Each structure stands twice: as structure tokens, then as C-alpha cells.
Structure 1
Amino acid sequence: MLSAVDLAFGYPGRRVGSGATFSVSAGEVFCLLGPNGCGKTTLFKTLLGLLPALDGRLELDGAPVSSLSRRHFAQRVAYVPQATAAHFPFSVFDVALMGRASRIGTFERPSASDRAIVHETLVQLGIAHLGDHPYTAISGGERQMTLVARALAQRPAMIVMDEPTASLDFGNQARILNQILALAREGIAVVLSTHEPGHAFACAGTVA
């Protein structure tokens, strides 16, 4: 599904890492383990096509990531960033509904089918009761689960998660880790980063 060969990543004039070679298949949990500041997020931005690779080869389904349209890429790969402070009081349902954007035409509105997919996703994650709540008024753990719901609503083949358990209490960390395992059982490839070795051992099939 996703493969990198001798991948170099970083910014113009500053190479952060090089020689990264790995592949991720459907139903696999691939964990990038390392301390804060070691370049995990920079590598993820490169995997997502937000930063160009400085060298090497990066492919999705056998095609160079750089050759894929953003719409096509978003239909295959979803991204869950770390939950951050929210500034706009969209409802939890509407935040999750934003995950359908890549499957809606430019001048179209979300259909009844799109809304049904979002409702099903919120039920799956156990947060359907938060659907009408403002995203700005829920806890950090609930915001993180909402971002997972937004990613799942894309119906992707792969989800990239940047430190998905950061700043969460023990209970919410366990919920996220269990959800990662559930996604893998459904055949979704999961790529995540963490600085917690225990989390890598708890859910990952492959650790780098």
C-alpha cells in the first residue's frame, strides 16, 4: 500500500532524516517510536505529501505520491493530528462530517448518505451522544476521538496518526489504542507515532 525507499525528508536547506525504507500493508499497524523533536512529524508531513521528499522514493498503491491529486490521496489516506485548542464552535457531528469533503463535489452539499456514514462512525467510536456538542466545549480526549471520527468518515484505506495519545489521561489513551487495534482488524492500515514504548508494544505489529 504505502512504501518508502531511501526516503530523505526535511525542509529546504535542512535535511532532518534520510535513508528511511519501510512499507505498510492493509491491516498493519506501523509505529514510529522516538523522542520529541527527532523528526517524526516531519516524516509524517512527507508521507502525507505536505512536504516534498528530498530524495528517495515514496509510493502509494505503486504510484508516486507526488503524482496523485489531493482528492485521490484524501480518499485513500486520512490524517489524525494531535488534538489542539479549538477556536470555532462547530458541532462534533459537523467536524466529523468534514471528513467527507474529498468525496463531495465542489458545489455539492453533504448528502443523506454522507450524514448516515458520520452517524455510524460516531456510534462506532462511542461518541454519538456528543454529536450536537460544540467541539470547543468537550474534553481533550473527546476532541481526539472526534478527529478519529473525521478520519474514519473519509472511508480511507490508511490512517496516519501523529502522537494520537499525547496529553490524554490513561483511560482515553487505552480507548485510542483499542480503537487502533480495531481499525487494523477491519483491514485499515494504521501509521502512528509515539514517544511511549509501552504504546508501541501494545498495538503495533511493526515498530521503527
Structure 2
Amino acid sequence: MKKNALMTVLSATAAATMIVGMLAGCGGKTSATKDADGATVIKFGINVANPAKQEPATNAIVEAFNKENKGKYKVQFEAADTESHNKNMKLEASDGTLPQVFWVEGSHVTDFNESGVLLDLKDFLKQNPNVKKALNGSEKAFQDDSGVQYGLPYQSNVQGIFYNKELFDKAGVEYPNDDTTYDEFIQMVDKLKASGVTPLAIGSKNSSFAMWEFNL
């Protein structure tokens, strides 16, 4: 499908800006420390045990940021596998030791927001319009009913969708291709639904991890 219909990728520059911007008021109950060179240490809680191997893009951004800000800021990963990371973040939220920046599953983030441990990032986005432009509206998924911007996406996943040609043929719907836009995809879904079939399904118990079955 066409790029403008699917996703916006946050640039390395924007991600680095986010790290500095969020430091100002992150985690109201946590405090930053200094390293031996006097740089402010920013802890980044990430859901992989080895960021260099498992999250090379994020690791490269952090390394570039640390190099550019040597002696002023230094990002340090607090790394653990996803299950351990989720447990650690919950424990650290309860005792006030959360990292300044951390990854959290979408299904858990509302609990963190309701407990009052997250920074409202509305002002950050106002002060950094380049970040808001790069997010292209995806930040709205991390807003509550009162308008609090309790988080920001920092990655985009490209996922595949398999389709049943027989069902498409019966519904009289043309097959999707590389030029199919998101709006056209939605029209296909409507036509398939009208033909009496369920247009989309995720064949896994935990939908948040279903993508890993076919992600590259």
C-alpha cells in the first residue's frame, strides 16, 4: 500500500529531541543522576535484553545522541526481556524509581496514566512542532478523555495482511496490490462485510503479539 496511507516514521533527530524534552518533567517522582563526566544520566527502560542486537535502530539513535551530547547528557538503557521489563516497570512505578523514558505496552499504559506517574507531553509537542509533524496524528492514540498526552509512539511496525482470493472473487472485489491506498482498503473491507463474511481476523490469543508471526 502507498506510504501516505499507512504510517509515519519518526526520525532519529525527532527521537533524540524527545529524550531531552521529556527529561524536564519526566516521572515526577524520579530524579536524574550525574555520571563521572558530569553528564545528566537519562535512564531508558526498554523491553529487550540486548538493545544493540535486538533494537539496532533505537540503539544507533541513543549512541548518536550520547556522542553529540557528551558531557551534558547520557542515555543509559535499563534493558530486560519484555516479560521482565513489564514487571520491572510496575514495581518501579509503585516505589517511584521509574526510568525517565520507558517503553510500555498499549494495554498497560492507561494504568500508568491513571496512577499519575506519567508526564503530560502536550507542552512538549507545542515546543517541538517538528516532532508533532513527524507523528502525523499518531500521538492521538496516547491521549485520555481529559486531553492529557500521556505518551508518544516512537516506532512504526510494517505488518502484512494475507487475503483469501476465493472470498474476494465471490464478493466481486479486486485483489489489493502495492498501489492500494488505505481508503481503498477500507472500501474492500466494506464490500467483503456486505457479502456476508468477516473481513478481518487475527488468529492468535494475544493480538498485541500477533505481528511477530509474520514480521520481518
Relative to the length of structure 1, the TM-score reads: 0.29
Flag the structure with more relative contact order, 1 or 2, with Cα contacts below 8 A and sequence separation at least 6: 1
Greater strand share, 1 or 2? 1
Relative to the length of structure 2, the TM-score reads: 0.28
Greater helix share, 1 or 2? 2
* Larger Rg belongs to: 2
